[in-house]
């Protein structure tokens, strides 16, 4: 169960969890829209409670955490707070503790996996910090060390990683459900099409594709990492008419190469 008022953060946590456990049943709760949970809420039926610090104006996350940790037979609580409330939250000894804007996929999944494996009735007390979990986390894709999340869509997550053999930074795009899941076949087909289309292209304005991997619960593409930022920020910062034309020509050149493969992009973003 995820409890936080911020819809984007609830969605982010759901994506992280379902990328590793596609069959997970997750309930998301907005304490502002739905009202704060009553005092008699016991958490029954949940394996883990993922509690965010955003709980509306009436209560902060630490106050809600304090109420939950005092209850007997309550499920393990993983708290996602801020640097400002980190000390207060740690003193309450949740089962897991992360800084919400420094969250990494591998450390979160490693921490949740440990809690689920250790859970017999109610997991033993003892908080685990995000950094502790990260130091013990194993890369979910062998041969790569995850650094941070770069973005997310409805069906995939994009992460910055480092290839362990060469220390070269790459981008890994992970489809959240593998081909064995009937409800994700269409997304999987689009994913393979993306790989097949780009892998055959050699163009200065199209990212290079290095690898494709497919497993029961996910598929991934490893591609070139470009560290120059995104066009949206350049637009917001302002640039000359000459540069605008230069960027437009580069985009048009890339699209022309894709169109030559009989593919229409349909999702062009800055």
Give backbone dihedrals phi and psi of 221, rounded to 5 degrees, phi first: -120, 130
Compute the distance between CA of residue 187 and CA of residue 124 in angstroms, rounded to an integer: 39
Look at residue 177 in the predicted model and tell me its pLDDT: 55
- Residues 162, 134: contact at Cβ < 8 Å? no
DSSP 123-162: PPP---BHHHHHHHPPPSSTTEEEEEEEEE-SSEEEEEEE
Sign of CA dihedral 42, 46, 50, 54: negative
Q: Which of 69-73, 97-101, 191-195 has the lowest mean pLDDT?
A: 191-195
Residue 212 DSSP label: E
Q: Which of 10-14, 137-141, 224-228 has the lowest mean pLDDT?
A: 137-141
Per CATH, domain 2-136 is 3.40.50.2300:
yes
189 within 8 A of 170, measured Cβ to Cβ: no
> pTM, whole model, 2 decimals?
0.48
**213 backbone φψ class: left, alpha, beta (φ>0; ψ -120 to 50):** beta
Interval 119-154: pLDDT, tens: 643 333 344 444 433 333 334 577 888 887 777 665
Q: In this predicted model, what pLDDT tens digit does every residue of 76-85 receive, in sequence order? A: 999 999 999 9
Say if residues 119 and 96 touch (Cβ distance below 8 Å): no
| CB < 8 Å & 24+ apart, contacts of 166-169 | 169/225, 169/227
pLDDT at 256 over 90: yes
State percent of the chain over pLDDT 90: 25
More confident residue, 248 or 221: 248
Q: pLDDT band for position 106 (50/70/90)? A: confident
CATH 3.40.50.1100 fits 144-227, yes or no: no
| Cβ 11 vs Cβ 19: under 8 Å | no
User: Any idea where the domains of the chain sit in the sequence?
Assistant: 2-136, 144-227, 231-270
């Amino acid at each position: 169960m995820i409890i936080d008022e911020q819809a984007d953060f609830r969605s982010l946590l759901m994506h992280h969890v379902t990328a590793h456990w596609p069959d997970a049943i997750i309930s998301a709760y907005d304490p502002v829209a739905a009202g704060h949970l009553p005092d008699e809420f016991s958490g029954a039926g949940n394996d883990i409670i993922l509690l965010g610090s955003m709980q509306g104006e009436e209560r902060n996350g630490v106050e809600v955490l304090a109420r939950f940790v005092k209850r007997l037979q309550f499920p393990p609580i993983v708290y996602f707070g801020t640097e400002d409330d980190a000390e207060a939250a740690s003193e309450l000894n949740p089962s897991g503790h992360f800084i919400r804007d420094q969250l990494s996929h591998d450390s979160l999944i490693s921490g949740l996996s440990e809690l689920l494996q250790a859970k017999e009735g109610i997991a033993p007390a003892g908080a685990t910090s995000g950094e502790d979990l990260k130091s013990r986390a194993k890369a979910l894709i062998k041969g790569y060390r995850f650094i941070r999340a770069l973005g997310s869509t409805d069906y995939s997550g994009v992460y910055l990683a480092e290839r362990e053999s060469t220390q070269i930074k790459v981008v890994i795009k992970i489809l959240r459900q593998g081909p064995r899941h009937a409800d994700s076949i269409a997304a999987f087909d689009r994913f393979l099409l993306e790989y097949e289309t780009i892998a055959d292209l050699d163009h200065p304005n199209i990212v290079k594709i290095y690898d494709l991997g497919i497993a029961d619960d996910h598929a991934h593409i490893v591609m070139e990492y470009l560290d120059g930022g995104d066009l949206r920020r350049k637009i917001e910062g302002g640039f000359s008419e000459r540069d605008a034309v230069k960027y437009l020509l580069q985009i048009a050149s890339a699209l022309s190469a894709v169109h030559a493969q009989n593919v229409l992009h349909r999702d062009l973003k800055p």
